Chain A
Amino acid sequence: MKAFTTLNGLVCPLDRANVDTDAIIPKQFLKSIKRSGFGPYLFDEWRYTDQGEPGMDCTNRPLKKDFVLNQSRYRGAEILLARDNFGCGSSREHAPWAIEDYGFRAIIAPSFADIFFSNCYKNGVLPIVASAAIVDQLFRECAATQGYRLRVDLETQTVRNPAGEWFSFDITPHRKHCMLKGLDEIGLTLQHAGEIKAFEAKHQEAQPWLFA
């Protein structure tokens, strides 16, 4: 996983609530057995007028011009600005894979769905929860300013706008540590293998039927 320290990124606004993981990456792309290459199909049904299929070359597909990702001012965006309950629906990690592969490294929204939220951290994508009032302000500023960028600093847990105003966000120390260092969580957990084994032995003694 890529480490995440600071990011000074162009912001792309996606102004709708309850964006679900079927919209983020439609099911036909879930047939892949790889974890890369999903970026061209991110928001496929909102982005293209034709029907996307796995393996399709997207360079010449017809675009829905109104969709934000297709507007030239947002090309190269690294921060996705979103609304409530972003990432609801299925547990498919293909959603953060597609977001990351497209080039987004952070998502700012008033709320996220639980499974999507934890999946983001495993892939170096930082989900940032901000109040509805702050998100409203960011949407307004983003609409008003071409090339609107935000500066995210994970160490200080802050996001700063071009005017120098800032807000702070929460993250658990464990997640922060893993994101800052780009750590493999499995390796960290296996440092506690002895404790897992001890727990397992006790658990098996109490409920042997779980180990049938």
Chain B
Amino acid sequence: MAGKTLYDKLWDSHVVREENDGTCLIYIDRHLMHEVTSPQAFEGMRLAGRRPWRSTSIVANPDHNTPTDHWDEGIKDPISRLQVETLDANIKDFGALVYFPFKHANQGIIHVIGPENGTTLPGMTVVCGDSHTSTHGAFGALAHGIGTSEVEHVLATQTLVAKRSSRMLIKVDGKVGAGVTAKDIALAIIGKIGTAGGTGYAIEFGGEAIRALSIEGRMTLCNMAIEGGARAGLVAPDEKTIEYLKGRQFAPKGADWDKAIAYWRTLTSDADAQFDTVIELDAAAIEPQVTWGTSPEQVLSIGARVPNPANEPDPQKRAGIERALQYMGLVADTPISKIKLDKVFIGSCTNSRIEDLRAAAAVAKGKQKAASVQQVLIVPGSGQVKRQAEAEGLDKVFIAAGFEWREPGCSMCLAMNADRLEPGERCASTSNRNFEGRQGNGGRTHLVSPEMAAAAAIAGHFVDIRNF
């Protein structure tokens, strides 16, 4: 009998019951919540007179609507404020293991605070009404986004109705070159498989270059699994994972710790496990990546030129390229390095952790933002990240470079708060989606790593970080 994949081990250890058609009831260990996708679920619970099955599974905090400056003035937009206050009231009523209200010292992006407090652990099932829940797969947890009806279902039953996904292994062997980050690996993978390449799959990332990534790098990579169409991304836990978790507030302690790490070490795909699809990439061939279009799959290496639709034989794809070029205000065959920026955003659940900020600060140190760049926002992922960065003096580096040092939150990744692009503005962004209007109506987004974003802020246009 063939061995099991990591995904199957995680799945099998959470099946409560299985129907004849393969529909399963899956037990959920950790339920992350934020203010945007939860109010209707709590309302449904209330209308049905239901109470949560296990409120201690809940880790919650507002992040999408919260402002990143002038915290003393509160949330000015009354609709945003009501949504945040609704989460406060719902958690007060229904309970939670952890809740960081707006302005709490540890508040931040839900996908940043979960891991940093040790509430995401290997072997768990983790869900949230947020597609970037895939981030937590970096710990060898089965983690994925759900809709609001499913949020309510998990609240009421601690389970999800789901069918097993297909299994994909993406193997990245070899070593990446200097200046090439987890973000570049993620974008290169999406460029190869497309935004629907992972549909129906859970992706396990493996190979030498993945093992070499830090835990934060693995979070960046798994975060972007959803942009490749896969609900869940996974990296098998290893000694780095164990080292990262040791001593964190909600990580197991004492005898439980020893028992836990013994179990976590079994969470790898068996040598003879079968995957439905295997994709291989050579790490050494990956260059710094920049998206040029309105889908994360529209991505190129920094040395490339914007594509010319005339070279695309498939009429539907050609129309897609033409539409993207028009929206992005780009001319075919323009070198990526000639694209000038109006704004730069460094933050989001993809790239707002301390290593991201250190990398950006190392590029910005002693330099100045280009005069043509109107605004450079640095938005830490959490209060803890912010304090750590300030302890290391990174905030001073950013401020000296003319960047803005902000309070934590989702910010201009999706522009639900006041941080946004105006129509036609062009932004180098460390976030995860370059969809039309994502960072503001009519805004134009180019996805890059923190290093590439910082370098673009200084040069005023994209530059190859390897020669910067």
Binding site for B on A (CB under 8 A): 16-18, 20, 22-23, 26-28, 30-35, 45, 51, 54-55, 83-85, 88-93, 96, 111-115, 118-119, 122-123, 172-174, 184-186, 189-190, 192-193, 195-196, 199-200, 203, 207-212
Asked if B391 CB lies within 8 Å of chain A CBs, one says: no
Binds A, one of B140-148, B208-216, B272-280, B340-348: B140-148
With an 8 Å Cβ cutoff, the count of chain B residues facing the other chain is: 81
Contact B147 A174 (CB under 8 A): no
- In the complex, which residues of chain A have a beta carbon less than 8 angstroms from the beta carbon of B415? 27
The count of A-to-B residue pairs whose CB atoms sit within 8 angstroms is 189
Task: Report the separation of the CA atoms of residues A119 and B450 in the bound assembly, to the nearest whole angstrom.
Answer: 33
List 5 A-B pairs, Cβ < 8 Å: A17-B316, A33-B86, A118-B147, A185-B153, A210-B124
Contact A200 B27 (CB under 8 A): yes
The 4 closest A-B pairs by CB, nearest first: A209-B252, A122-B149, A119-B147, A91-B145
Q: Which of B40, B65, B250 contacts A31 (CB 8 A)?
A: B65
Chain A residue at minimum C-beta to C-beta distance from B65:
A31
Contact B123 A115 (CB under 8 A): no
Asked if B43 CB lies within 8 Å of chain A CBs, one says: yes
- In the complex, which residues of chain A have a beta carbon less than 8 angstroms from the beta carbon of B157? 186, 189-190, 193, 196
Task: Report the separation of the CA atoms of residues A190 and B161 in the bound assembly, to the nearest whole angstrom.
Answer: 12
Given contacts A45-B437, A88-B229, A199-B27, contact A35 B148 (CB under 8 A): yes
Contact A195 B23 (CB under 8 A): no
Contact A27 B416 (CB under 8 A): yes
Best-surrounded residue of A85, A189, A196, A209 (most CB of chain B within 10 A): A209
Apart from A28-B416, A33-B83, A115-B147, 15 more pairs, CB < 8 Å: A26-B437, A45-B436, A85-B229, A114-B200, A115-B146, A115-B226, A119-B149, A123-B149, A189-B153, A189-B157, A196-B25, A196-B53, A196-B158, A209-B121, A209-B257
Contact A196 B159 (CB under 8 A): yes
Chain A residue at minimum C-beta to C-beta distance from B82:
A33
Binding site for A on B (CB under 8 A): 14, 16-17, 19-23, 25, 27, 29, 36-37, 39-40, 43, 48, 50, 53-54, 56, 64-65, 77, 79-80, 82-83, 86, 121, 123-124, 129-131, 133, 144-150, 152-153, 156-159, 161, 163, 195-196, 199-200, 226, 229-231, 250-252, 256-257, 259-260, 263, 295, 316, 319-320, 323, 414-416, 433, 435-438, 441
For residue A203, give the distance in angstroms from its CB to the closest CB of chain B.
Answer: 6
Task: Report the separation of the CA atoms of residues A91 and B133 in the bound assembly, to the nearest whole angstrom.
Answer: 10
Chain A residue at minimum C-beta to C-beta distance from B152:
A186
Contact A91 B146 (CB under 8 A): yes
Given contacts A54-B79, A85-B195, contact A30 B416 (CB under 8 A): yes
Given contacts A31-B80, A207-B263, A208-B256, contact A91 B130 (CB under 8 A): yes
Contact B16 A196 (CB under 8 A): yes
Chain A residue at minimum C-beta to C-beta distance from B163:
A172
Contact A203 B147 (CB under 8 A): no
- In the complex, which residues of chain B have a beta carbon less than 8 angstroms from the beta carbon of A88? 195-196, 229
